[in-house]
């Protein structure tokens, strides 16, 4: 796939805008599991998910968000070799994920790689994209001689959001709580992992205040208190699901029970 020009792209299309409280399922592993859960949105891996799964969900009137890592190199992706062609754009390994490395999101080279991924999402019929690993600024600056900063992530997300919207796709913020206040106005949702575990759910509440979803995951292996995981402090309006652990995000899911009195 040819890379898109790095020039600024103004939004020209309408796109799906989910409301706060929208229900969801997230499956980044294979197989994707049941496509008939009582939820409105499925968050799937952009590259690994069969086209038939996306088509089946659309036929049922549901929306599909397509996940990819926008801030790291992963060795198993179709464009991995292209990323490695510019070694200066690849930084240090992620803590706990030695095969995954931070990317220099300040470069036109990486921006254009991700625009091409957004093009792939559009061609597959995804309704939105879920770009991950946007917080290199909070992880040693990515291992570059000049550290990545939160301002770099804000600028990067603005570029990706403008491009996604121009293609008719919604786009959200994955974790990266430090930049919520600077991005909530132009992004369509937040996806958060473990804000109960880390006592930081208040950082993501601005999306709810803006009428936009916070798609929230807690992992039962780390925090097995279901009531706390579902109804902990500052989670009012969140769309919470529970997963076994953070290793793969399989199809296994637990939905929140009624709140205990």
Query: How much is the pLDDT for 4?
Result: 39
Domain encompassing residue 35: 24-255
Let me know if residue 6 belongs to a domain.
no
What distance in Å separates the CA atoms of residue 115 and residue 162, rounded to the nearest whole number?
Answer: 10
Let me know if residue 156 belongs to a domain.
yes
The domain total for the chain is: 1
Let me know if residue 31 belongs to a domain.
yes
Let me know if residue 3 belongs to a domain.
no
Let me know if residue 13 belongs to a domain.
no
**DSSP annotation of 259:** P
Q: What is the strand order of the sheet 173-174 is part of?
A: 173-174, 190-193, 214-219, 239-243, 254-255
What distance in Å separates the CA atoms of residue 61 and residue 42, rounded to the nearest whole number?
Answer: 12
Let me know if residue 143 belongs to a domain.
yes
Query: How much is the pLDDT for 12?
Result: 53
Name the β-bridge partners of 128: 65, 170
Let me know if residue 224 belongs to a domain.
yes
Query: How much is the pLDDT for 188?
Result: 99
Residues in the chain, pLDDT under 70 = 1-13
Query: How much is the pLDDT for 3?
Result: 40
Name the β-bridge partners of 69: 132
Let me know if residue 15 belongs to a domain.
no
Q: Is the pTM of this model over 0.95?
A: no
Q: What is the CA radius of gyration of the chain?
A: 17
Residue 152, domain CATH = 3.20.20.70
The 10s digit of each residue's pLDDT in 175-233 is: 999 999 999 999 999 999 999 999 999 999 999 999 999 999 999 987 789 999 999 99
Which residues, at least 6 apart from 52, have a Cβ–Cβ distance to it below 8 Å? none
**Do 194 and 249 form a contact (C-beta atoms < 8 A)?**
no
């Amino acid at each position: 796939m040819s890379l898109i020009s790095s020039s600024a792209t103004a939004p020209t299309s309408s796109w799906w805008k989910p409301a706060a409280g929208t229900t969801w399922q997230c499956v980044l592993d294979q197989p994707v599991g049941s496509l008939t859960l009582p939820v409105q949105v499925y968050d799937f891996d952009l590259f690994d998910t069969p086209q038939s799964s996306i088509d089946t969900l659309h036929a049922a009137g549901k929306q599909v968000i397509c996940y990819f890592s926008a801030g790291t190199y992963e060795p198993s992706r179709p464009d991995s070799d292209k990323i490695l062609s510019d070694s200066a754009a690849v930084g240090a390994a992620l803590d706990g994920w030695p095969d995954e490395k931070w990317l220099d999101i300040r470069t036109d080279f990486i921006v254009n790689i991700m625009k091409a991924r957004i093009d792939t999402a559009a061609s597959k019929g995804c309704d939105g994209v879920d770009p991950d690993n946007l917080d290199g600024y909070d992880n040693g600056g990515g291992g570059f001689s000049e550290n990545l900063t939160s301002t770099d992530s804000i600028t990067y997300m603005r570029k990706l959001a403008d491009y996604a919207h121009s293609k008719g796709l919604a786009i959200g913020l994955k974790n990266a709580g430090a930049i919520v206040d600077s991005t909530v106005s132009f992004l369509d949702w937040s996806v958060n992992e473990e804000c109960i575990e880390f006592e930081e759910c208040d950082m993501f509440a601005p999306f709810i205040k803006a009428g936009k979803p916070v798609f929230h995951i807690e992992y039962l292996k780390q925090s097995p208190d279901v009531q706390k995981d579902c109804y902990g402090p500052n989670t009012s309006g969140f769309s919470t699901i529970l997963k076994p652990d953070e290793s793969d995000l399989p199809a296994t899911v637990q939905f929140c029970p009624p709140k205990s009195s």
